[in-house]
């Protein structure tokens, strides 16, 4: 279980990005974090990843405190961040330096096949499309089999079709080993499609505002009325988190309005 216990973060310039954020995420759960721009989502994720230290409070994974990057925690950023001097295969094997070459080759080959890029093994990252590159990044993060995978707006730079493809693909990969997923997103549709639970954050300073359980079985039908209902409640909660007047959301909404930020 991943526990965030009153995590606060004040940057050296005095910005209080996070204020006493607490949450518990059980093993294998998929949690989406959504909230206004600048409300501290990335800050939170970086604290969980051990990339930045919280000013106070603590993050524990199975009661082990996380203060530095941990073998059981992987992270995927908004950009693929592939190493341009390594082939696709070597990028995926980057986190497997401890294994023997043969073991590494085998795991990488399996991961490549799993993300459908077996034919790109020897390609350079620059030869990939944005969606392919992000799939490589996902494979690289998953291949060491982390217990927790953090994703910071992983699909936001992709077009709508690729994004949906990769969302389904992520779920598919998740089903293999069922790591805990914590997904920061601006896309309400994405949050409801993937998550067991949506955490809504409130800005200045960033803190937890609301939690919405998404009680839908997988695979989820994005056109089902129930799916729409959940989207509406997330949107309503988002509006309230920013002290906006809650519009009448019963009027049918175009898909464009599902993107929220």
Partner 1 sequence: MISDAPVLQQSSEPAESAAAPSRLSRYARPMLGLLLPLILALGWELVVWLGWSNGRLVPPPSRVFATIAELARSGELIRHIAATLWRVGLGFAFGVIAGTLLGAVSGYWSLARRLLDPTVQALRAIPSLAWVPLFILWLGIFETSKIVLIAVGVFFPVYLGVMGAILIVDRKIVEVGRTFRLSGFAMIRRILLPAVLPAYVVSLRVGLGLGWMFVVAAELIGASEGLGYLLLDGQQLGKPAQILAAIVIFAILGKLTDWLIEVAAAPFLRWQDAFGRTKGT
Ligand X SMILES: Nc1ncnc2c1ncn2[C@@H]1O[C@H](COP(=O)(O)OP(=O)(O)OP(=O)(O)O)[C@@H](O)[C@H]1O
The residues binding ligand X (CB under 6 A) are 11, 13, 15, 17, 37-43
Using alpha carbons, list the distances in angstroms from residue 42 to 15, 25, 122, 163.
14, 17, 33, 20
- Report, in Å, the least distance between residue 203 CB and partner 1: 24
Q: How far apart are CA 239 and CA 156, in angstroms?
A: 21
- Report, in Å, the least distance between residue 183 CB and partner 1: 17
Q: How many residues bind partner 1 (CB under 8 A)?
A: 26
Find the binder of partner 1 among 16, 20, 72, 124 (CB under 8 A): 124
Q: Does 185 bind Mg ion (CB under 5 A)?
A: no
DSSP string, the chain: -EEEEEEEEE-TTS-EEEEEEEEEE-TT-EEEEEESTTSSHHHHHHHHHTSS--SEEEEEETTEE-SS--TTEEEE-SS----TTS-HHHHHGGGGTTS-HHHHHHHHHHHHHHTT-GGGTT--GGGS-HHHHHHHHHHHHHTT--SEEEEESTTTTS-HHHHHHHHHHHHHHHHHH--EEEEE-SBHHHHHHH-SEEEEEETTTBEEEEEEE---PSSP-TTSHHHHHHHHHHHHHHHHHTT-----TTS---GGGGB--
Q: Does 226 bind partner 1 (CB under 8 A)?
A: no
Find the binder of partner 1 among 13, 14, 63, 68 (CB under 8 A): 68
Per CB under 8 A, the segment of 26-34, 115-123, 228-236, 239-247 that binds partner 1 is: 115-123
Q: Which does 62 bind (CB under 5 to 8 A by kind): Mg ion, partner 1, ligand X, none?
A: none
Q: Does 179 bind partner 1 (CB under 8 A)?
A: no
Q: Does 42 bind Mg ion (CB under 5 A)?
A: yes
Q: Which does 77 bind (CB under 5 to 8 A by kind): Mg ion, ligand X, partner 1, none?
A: partner 1
Nearer to ligand X, 33 or 112 (CB): 33
Nearer to ligand X, 30 or 48 (CB): 48
Q: One symbol per residue from 5 to 44: x for binding partner 1 (CB under 8 A), - otherwise; what is it?
A: ----------------------------------------
In DSSP terms, 4 is beta-bridged to 23, 59
- Report, in Å, the least distance between residue 87 CB and partner 1: 8
Q: Kindly compute the dihedral angle of the four CA atoms of residues 76, 80, 86, 87, in this order, to the nearest 10 degrees.
A: 110
Find the binder of partner 1 among 38, 64, 65, 69 (CB under 8 A): 69
Residues that bind Mg ion (CB under 5 A): 42
Residues that bind partner 1 (CB under 8 A): 49, 51, 68-71, 74-75, 77, 79, 81, 83-86, 94-95, 97, 119-126
């Amino acid at each position: 279980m991943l526990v965030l216990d009153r995590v606060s973060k004040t940057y050296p310039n005095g910005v209080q990005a996070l204020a006493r954020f607490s949450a518990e995420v059980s093993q294998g759960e998929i949690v989406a974090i959504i909230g206004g721009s600048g409300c501290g989502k990335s800050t939170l994720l970086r604290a969980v990843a051990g990339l930045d230290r919280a000013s106070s409070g603590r993050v524990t994974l199975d009661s082990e405190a996380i203060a530095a990057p941990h073998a059981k925690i992987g992270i995927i950023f908004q950009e693929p961040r592939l190493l341009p001097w390594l082939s696709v295969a070597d990028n995926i094997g980057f986190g497997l330096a401890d294994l023997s070459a043969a073991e590494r080759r085998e795991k990488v080959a399996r991961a490549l096949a799993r993300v459908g890029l077996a034919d790109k093994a020897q390609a350079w990252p620059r030869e990939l499309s944005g969606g392919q590159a992000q799939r490589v990044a996902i494979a690289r993060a998953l291949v060491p089999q982390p217990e927790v995978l953090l994703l910071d707006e992983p699909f936001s730079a992709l077009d709508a079709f690729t994004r949906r493809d990769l969302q389904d693909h992520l779920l598919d990969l998740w089903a293999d080993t069922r790591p805990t997923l914590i997904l920061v997103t601006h896309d309400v549709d994405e949050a409801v499609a993937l998550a067991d639970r949506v955490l809504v954050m409130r800005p200045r300073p960033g803190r937890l505002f609301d939690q919405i359980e998404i009680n839908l079985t997988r695979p989820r039908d994005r056109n089902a009325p129930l799916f729409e209902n959940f989207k509406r409640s997330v949107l309503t909660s988002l509006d309230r988190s920013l002290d906006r007047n809650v519009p009448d959301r019963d009027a049918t909404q175009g898909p464009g309005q599902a993107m929220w930020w």
